[in-house]
Amino acid sequence: MAQAYTAETGNGAAGTHTGSFAGRLGGLLPARWREDRGIWRRGVVLALFAVLIALLMALHSRIPNRIGNLGSLTETFLPWLGIFVPLIAVLLPLVVWLDLFGGLLTGKSAAAAHDRGDLTVATHNVNADNPDPAGTAKDVAASGADVLALQELPAGQVAAYEEALSGAYRHHAVEGTVGVWSKYPLTGTAPVDIGMGWVRAMRTTVEVPGGDVAVYVAHMPSVRVKLNAGFTANQRDDSADALGEAIAREREDRIVLLGDLNGTMNDRSLNAVTSQMRSTQGAAGDGFGFSWPAAFPMARIDQIMVRGVEPVSSWTLPRTPSDHLPIAASVTL
């Protein structure tokens, strides 16, 4: 879904080119090219200008003087063509970056931040070594989420989370190290095999008044960067494929996926999942929504993804003792 995701975030960037220097130079291009914003987003026009300037400097002696002594004019100011070199060097990667991520720089929430739709959900990797499970549970519940998903639940701490959340959520289910707490009834709860050897994913149906919603909770295997092995993500990739197959078999029209995927929406190896679903942050979030590490978030590896429902807003929640930030989203059915 890398292509679909960049298409969402690219909307905000498309208009950035029209007032730029390159945009003004675009007036020299054929009308069809000026109207094709895709060419601008792909950096084709800037690349052509870069080639043109390089050719002007290298082949200045070949420019004829027959028309207005254009060759002599160019050679008179030849050193000044160097001004365009750093300008284009900056503009080209900037245009590509804005195409990929520019849309995330502006809020896309339907109304005010954290606007609520028919269903509000939240997810949090609470960290198995969390020293305050009860406090963490209450902090995340304070978001007002109708459905709350937790990952990395040690067996010895499940009771603490159950007790802390019992007042806000009448229904809950835990499978292995993941769980769902809900204000609405849960049916059809079952583990999802993602090839881990123990349960780190589950599926349940939430009976929301506006219609049933299939909710998946998953905690993908961790990834590491090692000098002798590179990006060790093979196990995570295999689990993502298994989760994608489970989602592909889902019969409910409305699906919400909550969890720690240990990967971003741009990671091609998660395509089995991301190609089927839509990121709430990409569709209705304010900013990048980075969730890890909590002390200095640099990547959004915790995800809320949907299919068959419309994202209204998406946001991160305040830090807890975990090394991940909780995230939340609201959708309409």
Confidence of residue 3 (pLDDT cuts 50, 70, 90): very low
Q: Same structural domain for residues 59 and 184?
A: no
Is residue 20's pLDDT more than 50? no
Confidence of residue 101 (pLDDT cuts 50, 70, 90): confident
Q: Same structural domain for residues 101 and 208?
A: no
Share of the chain above pLDDT 90, in %: 60
| Residue range(s) defining the domain that contains residue 92 | 2-105
Is residue 128's pLDDT more than 70? yes
Contact in structure between 262 and 220 (CB atoms under 8 Å): yes
Which of 105, 130, 149 represents a domain boundary (last residue)? 105
Is residue 240's pLDDT more than 70? yes
In a domain, 130, yes or no: yes
Confidence of residue 46 (pLDDT cuts 50, 70, 90): confident
Tokens for 321, please give them. Answer: 């003792």
Return d(Cα 110, Cα 54) in angstroms, integer: 46
Is residue 105's pLDDT more than 80? no
Q: Same structural domain for residues 125 and 206?
A: yes
- Which is more confidently placed, 272 or 66? 272
Return d(Cα 151, Cα 125) in angstroms, integer: 5
In the chain, how many H helices and how many E strands?
12, 14
The size of the chain, in residues, is: 333
* Helices 133-141, 158-165: crossing angle, 10 deg rounding: 40
Is residue 139's pLDDT more than 70? yes
Confidence of residue 103 (pLDDT cuts 50, 70, 90): confident
In a domain, 234, yes or no: yes
Which of 52, 72, 105 represents a domain boundary (last residue)? 105
Q: Same structural domain for residues 161 and 287?
A: yes
Q: What is the CATH number of the domain that holds 227?
A: 3.60.10.10
In a domain, 112, yes or no: no
- Structure confidence by residue, pLDDT tens digits, 211-220: 999 999 999 9
Confidence of residue 21 (pLDDT cuts 50, 70, 90): very low
Residue with tokens 């592909």: 248
Of the candidate ranges 144-153, 250-259, 262-271, the one whose mean pLDDT is the lowest: 262-271
Q: Same structural domain for residues 152 and 228?
A: yes
Return d(Cα 140, Cα 46) in angstroms, integer: 47
What integer pLDDT is reported at residue 1 of this predicted model?
38
What integer pLDDT is reported at residue 85 of this predicted model?
86
Across the chain, what does the average pLDDT equal?
86
Q: Same structural domain for residues 278 and 325?
A: yes
Q: Same structural domain for residues 87 and 169?
A: no
In a domain, 113, yes or no: no
Which of 45, 71, 105 represents a domain boundary (last residue)? 105
Of the candidate ranges 5-19, 88-102, 104-118, 250-264, the one whose mean pLDDT is the lowest: 5-19
Confidence of residue 47 (pLDDT cuts 50, 70, 90): confident
- Which is more confidently placed, 36 or 258? 258
Q: Same structural domain for residues 132 and 172?
A: yes
- Which is more confidently placed, 28 or 100? 100
Q: Same structural domain for residues 279 and 184?
A: yes
Q: How far apart are the first and last CA of the chain?
A: 22
Q: Same structural domain for residues 83 and 187?
A: no
In a domain, 111, yes or no: no
pTM score, two decimals?
Answer: 0.78
Share of the chain above pLDDT 70, in %: 84
Is residue 251's pLDDT more than 60? yes
What integer pLDDT is reported at residue 163 of this predicted model?
97
Is residue 200's pLDDT more than 60? yes
In a domain, 164, yes or no: yes
Of the candidate ranges 2-6, 64-68, 157-161, the one whose mean pLDDT is the lowest: 2-6
Return d(Cα 178, Cα 150) in angstroms, integer: 6
In a domain, 114, yes or no: no
Q: Same structural domain for residues 129 and 80?
A: no
Tell me how many domains the chain contains. Answer: 2
Q: Give Cα separations from 175 to 54, 97, 188, 222, 271 (angstroms).
A: 62, 40, 12, 19, 25
Is residue 17's pLDDT more than 50? no
Is residue 100's pLDDT more than 80? yes
Is residue 312's pLDDT more than 60? yes
Q: Same structural domain for residues 26 and 91?
A: yes
